[in-house]
Amino acid sequence: MESVGRLYGFYDPDEMRVIFKNRSKKMFNKVTTLEKCISEYLKDGDYIAAGNSAIERTPVAALMELIRQTKKNPRKNLKYGAVGGSPLPSVLAFMAGCFEECDISYGMALEALGVSKMARRCFETGKVKVTEWSNGTLAWRAKAAAMGLSFTS
């Protein structure tokens, strides 16, 4: 399936394979807090993907922590891949200026009510640049990335 719009995220799967190959395989306790995780591991230009076809699968706490930290220390050029529905956390992150670019599927999942005014404003003014995908295509892209396969061509 061909998407309309610019492709966001990783552009070179070979680069990711090298990163995965060279990363330490040492076993250690990885338990941490959301605050520490977002402040230490999230870098400018990173691509964040959230698989959320309903509110109960949305990483709301992580997005809210990102919003809190963005107010204190804005990051540059973060990209967001939103698979599926539940628009509220995504819209709040857009309005807070957390993301400049977004791959999205299933619109904003408000077919009964329509797209919220806040989301529409973000998209129409260009505050957030959007490329829309089908649910399957965006999910398969994420699976291909996890398998180290190219998903850009």
CA 3 to chain centre: 17
Domain edges within the chain: 34-147
Helix, strand, coil shares, percent, the chain, to 5: 40, 15, 45
Integer Cα distance of 77 and 43 in angstroms: 9
Query: CA gyration radius for the chain?
Result: 16
Average pLDDT of the residues in 119-145? 82
Helices 60-72 and 87-95 sit at what angle, rounded to 10 degrees?
10
Provide the whole-model pTM. 0.71
pLDDT at 4: 58
24-39 residue pLDDT tens? 889 999 899 999 999 9
The residues near 71 (Cβ < 8 Å, ≥ 6 apart) are 96
Q: Which residue has the higher pLDDT, 151 or 66?
A: 66
- CATH code: domain 34-147 is 3.40.1080.10
Dist CA 58 CA 72 (whole Å): 23
Give the confidence band of 1 by pLDDT, cuts at 50, 70, 90. Answer: very low
Distance CA(132)–CA(6), nearest Å, equals 9
Question: Of 16-20, 52-56, 70-74, 144-148, which gets the smallest average pLDDT?
Answer: 52-56
Q: pLDDT at position 110, please?
A: 63
Tell me 48's DSSP state: E
Judge contact between 16 and 145, C-beta under 8 A: yes
Structural tokens at position 113: 């009510």
Structure tokens at 53: 């076809």
Average pLDDT, the chain: 78
What digits encode the pLDDT tens for the residues 74-91? 877 788 876 555 667 778
Q: Predicted confidence band at 23 (pLDDT cuts at 50, 70, 90)? A: confident
User: Nearest-CA neighbor of 152 among 19, 14, 7, 50?
Assistant: 7
Tell me which residue has tokens 């599926």. 84
Can you tell me the mean pLDDT for 124-145?
81
Cβ atoms of 91 and 59 closer than 8 Å: no
